[in-house]
Amino acid sequence: MKLLEPGHVIDGFVVRECLHAGGMAHIYRVDLADADGGRRTPGFEMVMKIPRMTAGDGSETIVSFEVEAQILPALTGPHVPRFVAAGDLQQLPYLVMEYVPGHTLAHWLEGPTPIASELIARLGAGLARAVHSLHQQNVCHLDLKPANVLYRTGPDPQAPGEVVLIDFGLSCHAHFPDLLAEELRQAVGSPIWIAPEQVVGIRGDPRSDIFAIGVMLYQLTTGDTPFGEPRTRGGLRQRLWMDPVPPRRRRPDVPAWLQEVILRCLEPEAERRYPSAAHLAFDLSHHDQIAVTERGRDTRGTRFREHLRRWFKAAGMHYQPSPLPQRQISEVPIVMAAVPHHDVSDATLYSLRQAVQRSLGQLPGARLAVVTVISPGSTSSTDSERSETSAQRRYLGMLRTWAQPLELGPHRVSFHVLESGDVASALLAYAGGNHVSLIVMGAATHGLQLQHFVATVPTKVAMHAPCSVLLVKASLPFQWLGAPAAEVPRPPH
């Protein structure tokens, strides 16, 4: 199909300049035509995407257009472009959507190198949050790559803004027919970023998107691709058992925590990767809490015998269809325990820990974030920096001691000391920014004297939380009732 000239009108949309002429589609800026022949917008800039339909184009072009036209209108939230209209496939197929100003991830890959680890973590965390938003809507993108990841232009043009995902032509919605699987009957995806299970035809696993994020993190870190650019099915199948060269071997200054994250994303078996994009975003946002294993320290790579063992395992592996993404991520939530550090009874601390233990027992894949909030300037010392560090260590030690009886592995628990004069707002901001699914806190947390008033911290959190809140009533075991205070186990203050 030839390029449209500026001024061409399609179903009330006036075509402006062509922004992109790719192998699958042409993308134009468009406006709405008004009754007087002028132009107007619905409050945001728009683009029109028209698929290529020449004699040499394969059927996947039309099928992917049908998929995107089916999925895009069903998506909501800040991480996808707003849908405006779609054209009839029998006449002129097109999609009109919001135009998102900003840079794609390719902007950083093509920029100055090496990229600082802190910036890589920020780029990856934003991407993981956007992907988690998709998974919550039962959609797997399945074609994540730098060109399909946009960072909105923010106040600072050089800093990455909010992530918007584009191009859903290869995506899978759990509640819609999977046209690509039905009509093409082959592995579908971009060779550099496709996950191992996609290679063998399994679609709809949200951990496939986590693999693609891992590939992009590897590119940002090393400037290279982890598996080259395979062009044959045999080349693609190698990732069913092969590990990439460790990033620290290519770039020795890469921190161990970053390699730990990248290689966990790139595990050949999906169950060994991050269980959800929210868990990945959490680690990238709190990399000081990452438990580094041999995977993060390694510079030699996986040995031949291990690759051979994986090859035999992959040859006999039978992949199962994926459950609903929403159901799958609901089984691996992030649970936040809000632990007070002053003006709190032993019974509250004990009951809070018991409630957390019960919650984690029902959710074996859950991750626990143990949080307390301290007031800014609560320390008094002539050396303020040393004083703040000492206070942070003291409160972190208190949280670790409180959680010790839970007996959680390092990958399942982390500890955070927040500084704020508004405890409720700090807890709410933390929960919203880290995709917390459940907040567990004492019914009288942070202020026993105020527990009978409406404006207590627990009440504020329960009223405005973006997730479920479990308020725990203080109680002690029966055998401790009436016992002398000295005999009752005292959680640390």
pTM greater than the 0.75 cutoff: yes
How much is the pLDDT for 424? 94
Q: How do 13-21 and 25-33 pair as beta strands?
A: antiparallel
In whole angstroms, what is the distance from residue 139 CA to residue 135 CA? 5
Cα–Cα distance measured from residue 414 to residue 148, given in angstroms and rounded to the nearest whole number: 32
Q: Which architecture does CATH list for 333-487?
A: 3-Layer(aba) Sandwich (3.40)
Task: Outline where 169-300 has alpha helix (H).
Answer: 179-183, 196-199, 206-222, 233-237, 247-250, 256-265, 277-285, 294-297
Residues facing 140 on adjacent strands: 172
Residue 309's CB: how many other CB atoms inside 10 A? Answer: 13
Say if CB 230 and CB 191 are below 8 A apart: yes
Give residue for tokens 């143990």: 370
Cross-strand partners of 472: 442
Q: Say which DSSP state 251 is in.
A: -
Minimal CA–CA distance to 100: which of 78, 68, 76, 122? Answer: 78
* Rounded Cα distance, 268 and 35, in Å: 57
Radius of gyration of the chain (CA): 26
Q: What secondary structure letter does DSSP report for 321? A: P
Q: How far apart are CA 220 and CA 124, in angstroms?
A: 10
**316: exposed, middle or buried (C-beta count within 10 Å: 0-12, 13-18, 19+)?**
exposed
Q: How far apart are the first and last CA of the chain?
A: 71
Locate 489 and state its tokens.
């186990």
pLDDT score of 55: 59
- DSSP 8-state symbol, 186: S
CA distances to 378, 459, 460 from 456, in Å:
21, 5, 6
Q: How far apart are CA 445 and CA 348, in angstroms?
A: 8
CATH superfamily for 102-328 is Transferase(Phosphotransferase) domain 1 (1.10.510.10)
Task: Tell the residue number behind the tokens 């990399």, with chain if given.
Answer: 287
Architecture of the structural domain at 9-98 = 2-Layer Sandwich (3.30)
The answer to whether the beta carbons of residues 324 and 357 sit under 8 Å apart is no
- Spell out the per-residue pLDDT of the chain, length 493, in tens: 678 899 999 999 999 999 988 777 899 999 998 766 667 778 899 999 998 876 555 567 788 899 999 999 999 999 999 999 999 877 889 999 999 999 999 999 998 889 999 999 999 999 999 999 999 999 999 999 999 999 998 877 677 899 999 999 999 999 998 888 766 555 667 899 999 999 988 889 999 999 999 999 999 999 999 999 888 888 888 888 888 999 999 999 999 999 999 999 999 999 999 999 999 999 999 999 999 999 999 998 877 777 777 777 776 666 666 678 888 899 999 999 999 987 778 888 899 999 999 999 988 889 999 999 998 866 544 445 556 578 888 999 999 999 999 999 878 999 999 999 999 999 999 999 999 999 999 886 444 454 444 468 888 999 999 999 999 988 766 555 555 544 545 554 4
* Model pLDDT, residue 490: 53
The pLDDT, as a whole number, for residue 381 is: 47
Structure-token match 């992917």, residue found:
64
Give the residue from 236, 136, 152, 252 showing the smallest Cα distance to 188: 236
- Residue spans of the domains in the chain: they are 9-98, 102-328, 333-487
Q: What does the pLDDT read at residue 493?
A: 44
pLDDT at 453: 44
Whole-number Å distance between alpha carbons of 433 and 414: 15
Q: Which strands, in side-by-side order, build the sheet including 149-152?
A: 102-104, 149-152, 163-165
